[in-house]
Amino acid sequence: MTTIQPLLIYNTLSRTKELFSPLHEGRVGMYVCGPTVYGEAHLGHARPAITFDLLFRYLLHQGYKVRYVRNITDVGHLERDADEGEDKIAKKARLEQLEPMEVAQFYTNKFEDAMNALGCLPPSIEPRATGHIIEQEQLVSEILKNGYAYESHGSVYFDVEKYDKDHHYGILSGRSLENIKDASRELAGVGEKKNQADFALWKAAQPEHIMRWPSPWSDGFPGWHCECTAMGRKYLGNHFDIHGGGMDLIFPHHECEIAQAVASQGDQMVKYWMHNNMITIEGRKMGKSYNNFITLPQFFSGSHPLLSQAYTPMTIRFFILQAHYRSTVDFSNDALQAAEKGYQRLMDGWKKLQRLAEGQKVKGQPMVEMSVVDQLRARLYDAMNDDLNSPIVISNLFDVCRTVNTLCDKKASIKAETAQALIELFHTFAFDILGLTEDTASGNKAREEAFGKVVDMVLERRQQAKAEKNWALSDEIRDRLSALGFEVKDTKDGYSWTLTK
């Protein structure tokens, strides 16, 4: 057995890979920013969900007890930025004449269906912002008490300048307060805030605003950044291991979360900040204005002008895992077709590998030794331990498929014990850790039909060989099909075949 190397993860805060060591032995607390539930789940949701599912699965595989919290934002995420505009969910509710909670529940269900389809394990806790108004009000009170916030017209704002004097605002994103102020200069001097860089902790609701709660300051609602600090603390404690999300959340959302934690409890809450990179579609940022906004159900059904066919959830998962989580990923129909082929090749390799469970001895051909499996195991763990390098894991699994093909071509031998070890290792990495599943509904019926027709064509050739009494060819065809997993039976009327696992 190889020794398991320690896990390195890239910490956005230190901008280096750090050795992972949990705050509490054997236990890991992990918080990931979840969706704002006012529309269908799309690719932008799939990437963080799959990235942190990979981490969740790997930590579980390493034997940790993981408490994985992913929130549902159902209030406070306003349209233009964190402080201005209409609440996204309230707007949808107004347009569709629904209760805001009806909108939130509808899209939460849709989101969870899509995540299940993508093979993401459900988090341990999925708290909703509206279910934690009291905790958020407490957080606001603490920040006010410590002097890092001020009240203005019933709203409460975080005093960024005051905080920056004592601490550093911009520590996560690498910005200075001066840069931040420069970037927002044209908007300066607006309304209730002392400084444009200040952000809302509590907003007084306008009379027409339907989502509102009583508070010491006004009838209103919490600022968007509050929920993650309040709920992270409630479920994972004042200090926890990992906080994740997409890179687009680094500023302002996660920067504000750090400031809120320090301003309320005196120190930082999170040890490792992890961020997945973004997704582009045909080289452009995904957005409704570019007409390239593709929802997950549209991928699964193929109903979007940019898609020539349906793609299974596993193709999407495989495609995302083919890139390292800190690299950008560009989606296109061609790239997805290539991913579909790659994923099928991997699953075909897996089917063939299982058929080698008893081992095989081919005279005069070299033996696949156990040391090959041991080296492969070491490479797979090394890749995962180096900041979750899933593309390297996948390329090693393809190496297994090549070895399997050599074995199927009877160009190598393998002992049953070695074959079993290889099967177990492939299963662990492809299914338990990468979270792939065998896609029975491959989504491409036409291809499956064509596949069957090819087998028939080959067997008709065999019938012809038999008619010509060419027994050698007839046997060869049967044996080679059998090696590929097709069981051929001669019947009264000709032949029949089945694909055995």
Residues that bind Zn ion (CB under 5 A): 33, 228
Pick 139 or 373: Cβ nearer Zn ion = 139
Q: Nearest approach, Cβ of 42 to Zn ion (angstroms)?
A: 18
Distances (CA, A) of 410 to 222, 356, 359, 419: 67, 11, 11, 14
Q: Are 393 and 433 in contact (CB under 8 A)?
A: yes
Pick 253 or 478: Cβ nearer Zn ion = 253
Tokens of 159: 């005093």
Give, to the nearest 10 degrees, the angle between helix 416-427 and helix 390-408: 150
Pick 33 or 356: Cβ nearer Zn ion = 33
Pick 33 or 430: Cβ nearer Zn ion = 33
Q: Nearest approach, Cβ of 454 to Zn ion (angstroms)?
A: 51
Query: Mind giving me the DSSP string for 202-260?
Result: EEEPPTT--S-B--SS-SEEE-TTHHHHHHHHHHH-SSEEEEEEEGGGIIIIIHHHHHH
| Rounded CA separation 344/226 (Å) | 44
Q: Nearest approach, Cβ of 253 to Zn ion (angstroms)?
A: 6
Pick 82 or 407: Cβ nearer Zn ion = 82
| Rounded CA separation 326/348 (Å) | 29
Residue 420 phi, psi dihedral angles, 5° rounding: -60, -40
Q: Nearest approach, Cβ of 171 to Zn ion (angstroms)?
A: 17
Q: Nearest approach, Cβ of 23 to Zn ion (angstroms)?
A: 20
Pick 33 or 144: Cβ nearer Zn ion = 33
Q: Nearest approach, Cβ of 179 to Zn ion (angstroms)?
A: 23
Pick 252 or 313: Cβ nearer Zn ion = 252
Q: Are 279 and 299 in contact (CB under 8 A)?
A: no
Q: Nearest approach, Cβ of 191 to Zn ion (angstroms)?
A: 25
Q: Nearest approach, Cβ of 252 to Zn ion (angstroms)?
A: 11
* Helix, strand, coil percentages for the chain (3-state, nearest 5): 50, 20, 35
Helices (H) then strands (E): counts for the chain: 16, 17
| Rounded CA separation 185/280 (Å) | 30
Pick 33 or 434: Cβ nearer Zn ion = 33
| Rounded CA separation 289/303 (Å) | 18
| Cis? peptide before 222, omega within 30° of 0 | no
Q: Nearest approach, Cβ of 249 to Zn ion (angstroms)?
A: 6
| Rounded CA separation 53/58 (Å) | 8
Pick 226 or 353: Cβ nearer Zn ion = 226
